[in-house]
Structure 1
Amino acid sequence: MYKDAHLPRKFLVVVDGTPESRAALRWAERRAHGNGGQLALLVVLEPGGFEHWLGVETLMKEEAKENAEQILKELSTEVEKIAGRLPETHIMEGDRIEQVIELINSDKTISTLVLAAGTDPAGPGPLVGALATGKAGFHIPVTVVPGELSDDEIDALT
């Protein structure tokens, strides 16, 4: 990350098409818009467990990538309507935490990671869970947005 505090901020939002990730995206977009920052959206495709069935694995990867591209297209359109510009988009494959760290390390302009807290009673989600236990290893500020916040509530906070 750059040391110059006057550079525009880039908010990295990990998205998956869920309502919670949309809440995190809205929060990040409003914050970026308020301070002249930028948005970057990331979808991480995790291994499916079918590595021993090459044909099945290939088909599943293709379907997952198409789904990720569709999610990014829809979310980018929403961002453009609000902000008047398209965000950066990224699709990466592998372990979610490792891929987030890799992108942060490779793009020194990313200043804040924005995560959504899941609304499932089973827990907040894997990234927020890793963050809470100290196992994430993110070296930039992280904002966790409650997944149940409405657009109006997010707008009032930002």
Structure 2
Amino acid sequence: MAERKPRKANVEGHRRKFMVIVDETPECESAVYFSACRARNTGSDLQMLFVVESEDFQHWLSVEAIHQQEGEQKAAAVFRLYQRKLKGWGFDGITLHQAVRHGSKPEQIVEAIEEDEDISFLVLGASTSAEGPGTLVSQLAGKQAGSFPVPIVVIPGALELHEIEALA
């Protein structure tokens, strides 16, 4: 097992970050709201990560370039949406970071955490769907949970914002 880098959120010059994976799913709003509440309540920062999932375009480089460009545009739109929501919820005082990565979502999440020693928590929203909590929650909070580099917080998508605030 590779040696894990220590988290530096409590070292002078560093600030704890709650990292939330943003997308267009309904449960994402719950995760963003919880992360913002925790960031405000603990004097921490909020890191939003959007992952553009890679497709297999080996023979069609121009198609891959278009896919990546469209992914960047979608990420920008999702960031704008959550910036407006955060402001509307009264969280305009927290420090917000945004990042876009390309590739496999689980791999990119782990790499982002390994590269930024201030990330202390990963926050995910769980779907209310009958099919289960969602692929990402199942992958990360399931079989990888025991070896994950930071705690994973899973927010049930059925919680109302006032319930999330009471828990945060």
Q: TM-score, normalised by structure 1?
A: 0.88
Aligned partner of 1:9 in structure 2 is 16
Contact 1:50/1:57 (8 A) holds in 2: yes
Q: Quick one: distance in 1 between partners of 2:49 and 2:107? A: 13
Residue 102 of structure 2 is aligned to residue 97 of structure 1: no
Contact 2:20/2:35 (8 A) holds in 1: yes
CA-CA distance at 1:31 after TM superposition: 1.0
The one-letter code matched in structure 2 to 1:153 is E
Contact 1:8/1:35 (8 A) holds in 2: no
**One of 78, 88, 91 as aligned partner of 1:83:** 91
CA-CA distance at 1:126 after TM superposition: 2.2
The one-letter code matched in structure 1 to 2:91 is A
Render the CA deviation track for 1:4-36: whole Å, top value 9, x for unaligned.
389642100001022201110001101111111
Residue 48 of structure 2 is aligned to residue 38 of structure 1: no
Residue 154 of structure 2 is aligned to residue 141 of structure 1: no
Q: Rate the CA distance shift 1:84–1:53 in 2: closer, same or farther, 3 A.
A: same
What secondary structure is seen at the aligned counterpart in 2 of 1:149?
coil
Aligned partner of 1:106 in structure 2 is 115
Q: TM-score, normalised by structure 2?
A: 0.84
The one-letter code matched in structure 1 to 2:143 is G
The one-letter code matched in structure 2 to 1:139 is P
Q: Quick one: distance in 1 between partners of 2:111 and 2:49? A: 12
Aligned partner of 1:51 in structure 2 is 58
Contact 1:79/1:87 (8 A) holds in 2: no
Aligned partner of 2:4 in structure 1 is none
**More displaced, 108-117 or 82-91?**
82-91
**More displaced, 91-100 or 44-53?**
44-53
Structure 1: state its 5+ residue gaps.
none
Q: Quick one: distance in 1 between partners of 2:16 and 2:9? A: 12
The one-letter code matched in structure 2 to 1:26 is Y
- Give the length in aligned residue pairs: 158
Render the CA deviation track for 1:59-118: whole Å, top value 9, x for unaligned.
222112101111012212322442224510000001111111111111101111101112
Identity %: 35
**Runs in 1 of length 4+ with deviation above 3 angstroms?**
3-8
Contact 1:116/1:144 (8 A) holds in 2: yes
Structure 2: state its 5+ residue gaps.
1-6
Alignment RMSD? 2.1
Q: Quick one: distance in 1 between partners of 2:55 and 2:73? A: 15
**More displaced, 104-113 or 46-55?**
46-55
Residue 77 of structure 2 is aligned to residue 70 of structure 1: yes
